[in-house]
Amino acid sequence: MLAEVVCFVDKFYSHVWRVAVPTIWQYGYGIHLNDSERMPDIMDTCDSSSDLSWQPAKELVFNCDPLLPSSYIHTCGKISLELGVAEDVLKIIEDSEESCVKSAESQNSDLIPAFYEGGLKVWECTDDLLGFLSNPSNIQQKLKDSAVLDLGCGSGAVGISCLMSEASHVHFQDYNEEVIKYYTRPNVTLNFPGVNVEDKVRYFSGDWESFCGLVQDVKYDLIFTSETIYNPDCYKKLLKVFKQLLKPEGHVYVAAKTYYFGVGGGTRQFEEALETDGVFKSEVVWKFDSGLNREILKLTWL
């Protein structure tokens, strides 16, 4: 009974937050959310993830270079990237009968667990990671010749910035195949015109649980992930990815809010999960204390 009450209260606050603030910023070139002003619309978040049917992981191989018709320059710190317009993706898939992205947008939802994970939006914690990477005193010097995983990549902005910093390999993973096909990969192509980076990149879609089985022989120096700890039910398989795929001397960087209203997850709860799991130690290496508090956690092996 108590759990039902908590769930109702969380949903109530989430609804109030969405109604009380602007829901989207439109700049003419695409969709970019300032989520210090709003929270994602997450449907059915109080349902247990064990009751959901998750898409199996698979590697995506492409034979052509798809390009979106328009783009804009996305700048964070010293990093400037050319990104496609998310609205163009919606136009491309508007004739598709079965589209997770189209269905989510028609319901005005940013996130639908096990269906659509918000990959067409550049969330603010992604910008936090980009700004963090642009500071030479943080991690920039460690990127050269590193094997990198951009987990829950969405636009691919973090992975693209790592390629620009001479990472040896970057693998992009997002839950939705449509996001990878129509948004992530075109963004990679946009930022390396006339340069063949195909031997440095791989693309994966699907659930984290089966993703581990798909790349079980791969190890990464660095794993970056942002806005992926809003659902505590997914912590176990997220940690499984880290434990299976991170090199012994590797690091994980998790960018997230301290608390997600309407959901219950956040950096404090994730730290509790880490302590219970007993495999990684974490430290806050960056934080933003104005409005909705945001942080970047650095995870290393115990």
For 131-177, the pLDDT digits (tens) are 999 988 888 778 999 999 999 999 999 999 999 999 999 999 999 89
Instruction: Quote the pTM value.
Output: 0.82
For 83-123, the pLDDT digits (tens) are 999 888 877 776 665 566 655 565 555 565 554 555 677 88
Q: Report the alpha-carbon distance of residue 79 to residue 74 in Å, rounded.
A: 8
> For the domain 58-301, what is the CATH code?
3.40.50.150
Q: Report the alpha-carbon distance of residue 81 to residue 96 in Å, rounded.
A: 29
Domain assignments of the chain as residue spans, ordered by start:
58-301
CB 187 within 8 A of CB 157: yes
CB 171 within 8 A of CB 198: no
Q: What is the dihedral of CA 255, 260, 263, 265, to 10 degrees?
A: 50
What mean pLDDT value characterizes the chain? 81
Q: Where are the beta strands (DSSP E) in 42-200?
A: 58-60, 71-76, 79-84, 147-151, 169-174
Answer yes or no: is pLDDT of 266 > 90.
Answer: yes
Q: What angle do CA 213, 215, 221 make, to 5 degrees?
A: 130
| Per-residue confidence (pLDDT) for residue 41, from 0 to 100 | 47
* Tally of residues, the chain: 302
What share of the chain in percent tops pLDDT 70?
Answer: 74
Answer yes or no: is pLDDT of 5 > 50.
Answer: no
What single-letter amino acid sits at 238? L
